[in-house]
Structure 1
Amino acid sequence: MEKINRRGFLEKSIALGAAGLLAPSTIKSAVMNPLQKIRKDDISLAQWALVQEIRDGKWKTLDFPKVAREDFGLNGIEFVNTLFEVPHVQY
């Protein structure tokens, strides 16, 4: 076990105090300045809407967020778990 001395105690106390002072301002800036402003009537795109393109190989499942944002200008997406490429193991 480490012996506690006055110098070590003061150094750690100052470091924790500074972290406590900086943390609220960091949290506040993240909350007050979101990266993307959410609109009241924002809608999402379900992956089933593009199921044929995904099955035809035009897009991969993980390209769906990019397609929804860039092609359709939407912020919300809904994935479909059956469209993920999962390896099947035979027993």
Structure 2
Amino acid sequence: MTHQQEAATIKPNTSETSVSLSTVQSEVGRLYHLLDATADILMEMNYERDGKRDVELDRVAALVFIARDNVQRVSQTIDDNFYAIEGGTRK
């Protein structure tokens, strides 16, 4: 079953689609660490091939760095506003 088929079989407002903010917060944090590790690996790579700059690798690196930085901002926003997003008051 493809991801699209799987998503189409999940009915709204069921426990199958219920996701807590804590879960989202954790997953966003994990995504940040994955992208950060990928960025570290990219920083160690040789950006020259056959005496020329590897433009494709530059593009991949740029996408990873942009994604990592945006995920970090989302993660920080969730952390800073967790209780407000949950609809409660800050402890």
Which has the greater radius of gyration? 1
TM-score, length-scaled by structure 2: 0.31
Name the one with the larger helix percent: 2
